Structure 1
Amino acid sequence: MNNKFFDRDDSVLLVLGGLDTSGGMFNYLKAWIHLIQKECQSVAVCATAEVLENLKFSGFTIALPYSSNDNLKDIYKRLQFKKYNKEFYEIRKQIDSFLPSYVHIVDETIFFPQLKSVLSGYEKIITIHDPIYHPGQFRSLMTRILCLYSRLSYFCTKKLKIHLHSKRSIFPSILSLYGKNVIYPHPLPETKFSINHHNTTPVVAFMGRIEKYKGIDLFIQSIQEYEKKYQDAIEILIVGKGEVTGFESLRFDNRLTIVNEFVSDIQFHKYMSEIDILILPYISATQSGVGYLAKAYGRKIVCTDVGNLADLIESESDGYIVEKNPRIIANAIHKIASRL
């Protein structure tokens, strides 16, 4: 590898080992397909049948033996007790027929210790989006233990490099001890709508799955602070599924639109193309796929100085990196909105 992630003559097998059929990792996979199709000789994709169907990818594909609709615990048990050996034998034959220069696993998966056997002998790269675990990642202690077990297995896996988007925010993760790291920025997703849309009244948005760690409360407080301090009109948009106490009673002086439901990929792109400012008021995190989609559409970003979010802001023309403070976020919104 050189200053590009892969060389032009490389053939790359992209693997999404998890079950995401439409969210952040699904879109990250699509971003890599788009990049490799432009820069490399050939690309193939290995994922669940549901992911492959949603991708509508016309190239070489390999279906994993489990389903995105299966229970995570059941899949892990079957993998652990080698219930998919016959299917993995066929998968290996398909991989060998494609003969990739690299196998790029585009997201960490608790299935890696079991999947690595079918990938043995090939140069492998696995992308780590969150070197330091944060509160939004785990639904149970068992999932956290399995994630740690998966990471420990990297240290005894041959021909494996760890891909990180940035050198920031890796210590004290055990991955800071792993010697074979590759630093490369998050590829920008392909856009689906015009990036030249402009609004008469600036649209300020919180977009993505609604979770406490993503700072929805801080977003609301920041808008309230903005309205107290500034008279300039804005429109407020909240797009994403999740539970937030008091949504039904939210009142702002400016127009508010809430889309508190699952939003398809194409709808999400449409909303992104129509906003002016994306707020990422994360309390804890490492990366944000929503942020990179905003960059692809040329939208201004206000993000808290958490994890690697600061990598989104290369200059003041991109937006601002701010403290987790409603007043400071409100000031950043005003600075950007007054220049649009």
Structure 2
Amino acid sequence: MKIVFLSTFALDANVSIVNALKKKCDVYFFTEALYEIYNFLNKDQLNKTISEGTEVNELQLFRDLLALEKTYVVKGTRNANIFKKLYNSYRVHQYIKKINPDFIIIDNYMLTYFLSTLAYRKKMLMIVHDPFLHSGEDFVIDSFLRKIHFKLIKNKILLNESQRNDFIEYYKECAQNVSSSFLSVYDYLTCFKIRETVQTDNFNILFFGRISPYKGIKYLLDAFLKILAESNYENLTLTIAGSGDFDFDINEYKKYPRIKIINTYISPGNLAQLISESSVVVCPYTDATQSGVIMSAYAFKKPVIATDVGGLPEMVEHNKTGLIIKPRSSEAIYQAILELHNDKELIERMAENIENIYFSGEKSWDASAALFIDALQKIERQSE
């Protein structure tokens, strides 16, 4: 089976999905270097419209996960430059025609791949990362392109099962055309060298990711202020790391030395360092689909405190790989943090469970890729 994977994200989940798929299939991977925050690739370092993976410095670190000779990086341009965008789309389409794939997996609705979408839509499987758009992120152009691609591409795959029925009902999809799989650990992060640090009894709580209203960061900060007001937990610290604009006044929290706010783009190497130095990761989201943050934390076997929204309870098994709490509650976050802080044996058991389930068990990338292959085989049966 020959597969072309069209992506806007070079790393994150996709490098792991491709790595798992290439054990069973012949996989060609395309990604677009546009915004460094999306895929960690600097487009200004690219000399050609389409570069082979062997020519892209940032990808050399991942040669054990990606077949670089079958990886292509498009030097991206914004949608506003419509003629350049369509030219890139034409160039990509010429490459894909030479490959002549049996199927195409696409994870986005960018114009970069639009000509190929028109030509190969009956052979396409679309990954729907966000079955429902996050609150505060319903941008007009994104919604428009999303609707077009949903119409063109019949077969879709979600990365959690819990939202599948709601997705089918909301978008009036045919149930047999909507499959589901799941995310596993973001093992690309383990390719980065981690600096050794002096072991202390510091218990660091980490939030990382793009700053956005639906992330519920204020609930986490207010929970930590309650911890600061008590004298028993002087070894607890909080780190908030990510780029974006806060939807509340952050200045009142900056005055506390045990709260560290890194409001900037976090490179993958720095992210790996932050996670490795943390004790627990918190996802205080007010709404969600699935979360790459959780899978990044699991790559270092860190337990996660997550709210009971979207597909997060599928990813965090309560009392097994972390804790599930009610959303929009600083008190719930406060209680969960102290529960883990006060029970080191529980944290150790959770780390063991993460390894057993996600590295080699039922939630491994090999198991996820098998569901992708099942979805592609359904497309094949449709054409018979």
TM-score, normalising length: structure 1: 0.79
Cα distance, 1:278 vs structure 2? 0.7
- Structure 2 stretches of 5 or more lacking a match? 35-40, 42-52, 61-65, 345-384
Q: Does 2:125 match 1:125?
A: yes
Counterparts of residues 166-177 of structure 1 (less than 5 Å): 166-170=160-164, 171=166, 172-174=169-171, 176-177=173-174
Cα distance, 1:252 vs structure 2? 7.2
**Larger CA deviation: 242-251 vs 319-328:** 242-251
Q: Is the 8 A contact 1:226 1:331 kept in 2?
A: no
Percent identical: 18
The 1:13–1:86 alpha-carbon spacing in structure 2 relative to 1, beyond 3 Å, is: closer
Letter in 2 for 1:328: A
| Cα distance per residue 1:29-55 (max 9 Å; x no partner) | 222233234x32433211236655343
How many angstroms apart in 1 are the aligned matches of 2:173 and 2:219? Answer: 31
State the superposition RMSD in angstroms: 3.0
The 1:14–1:44 alpha-carbon spacing in structure 2 relative to 1, beyond 3 Å, is: same
Letter in 2 for 1:48: E
Q: Is the 8 A contact 2:290 2:310 kept in 1?
A: yes
Q: Give the 3-state SS of the residue equivalent to 2:94 in structure 1.
A: helix
The 1:34–1:266 alpha-carbon spacing in structure 2 relative to 1, beyond 3 Å, is: farther
Q: Give the 3-state SS of the residue equivalent to 1:258 in structure 2.
A: strand
Letter in 1 for 2:266: V
Q: Give the 3-state SS of the residue equivalent to 2:150 in structure 1.
A: helix
Which position in structure 2 is the counterpart of 1:42?
A: 26
**Larger CA deviation: 28-37 vs 294-303:** 28-37
Within the candidate set 4, 10, 16, 1:13 is matched to 4
Which position in structure 2 is the counterpart of 1:258?
A: 261
Cα distance, 1:110 vs structure 2? 4.1
Within the candidate set 96, 114, 131, 1:92 is matched to 96
How many angstroms apart in 2 are the aligned matches of 1:302 and 1:101? Answer: 41
Cα distance, 1:141 vs structure 2? 2.2
Cα distance, 1:13 vs structure 2? 2.3
Cα distance, 1:259 vs structure 2? 1.5
Q: Give the 3-state SS of the residue equivalent to 2:80 in structure 1.
A: helix
Paired residues, what number?
A: 307
Q: Is the 8 A contact 1:43 1:60 kept in 2?
A: yes
How many angstroms apart in 2 are the aligned matches of 1:126 and 1:322? Answer: 31
Within the candidate set 179, 184, 189, 1:182 is matched to 179
How many angstroms apart in 2 are the aligned matches of 1:255 and 1:202? Answer: 11
Q: Give the 3-state SS of the residue equivalent to 2:286 in structure 1.
A: coil
Cα distance, 1:173 vs structure 2? 3.0
Cα distance, 1:113 vs structure 2? 5.1
Q: Is the 8 A contact 2:162 2:311 kept in 1?
A: yes
Q: Is the 8 A contact 2:4 2:105 kept in 1?
A: yes
Which position in structure 2 is the counterpart of 1:312?
A: 315
Counterparts of residues 80-159 of structure 1 (less than 5 Å): 83=87, 87-88=91-92, 90-96=94-100, 100-105=101-106, 107-111=107-111, 114-119=115-120, 123-138=123-138, 140-155=139-154
The 1:173–1:120 alpha-carbon spacing in structure 2 relative to 1, beyond 3 Å, is: closer
Which position in structure 2 is the counterpart of 1:223?
A: 224
Q: Is the 8 A contact 1:131 1:173 kept in 2?
A: no
| Cα distance per residue 1:161-191 (max 9 Å; x no partner) | 3111222124153165453122211132112
| Cα distance per residue 1:56-79 (max 9 Å; x no partner) | 452313454xx33x222324x666
Q: Is the 8 A contact 1:209 1:241 kept in 2?
A: yes
Cα distance, 1:117 vs structure 2? 3.0
Q: Give the 3-state SS of the residue equivalent to 1:179 in structure 2.
A: helix
Cα distance, 1:93 vs structure 2? 3.4
Q: Give the 3-state SS of the residue equivalent to 2:185 in structure 1.
A: coil
Q: Does 2:79 match 1:72?
A: yes
- Structure 1 stretches of 5 or more lacking a match? 1-9, 156-160
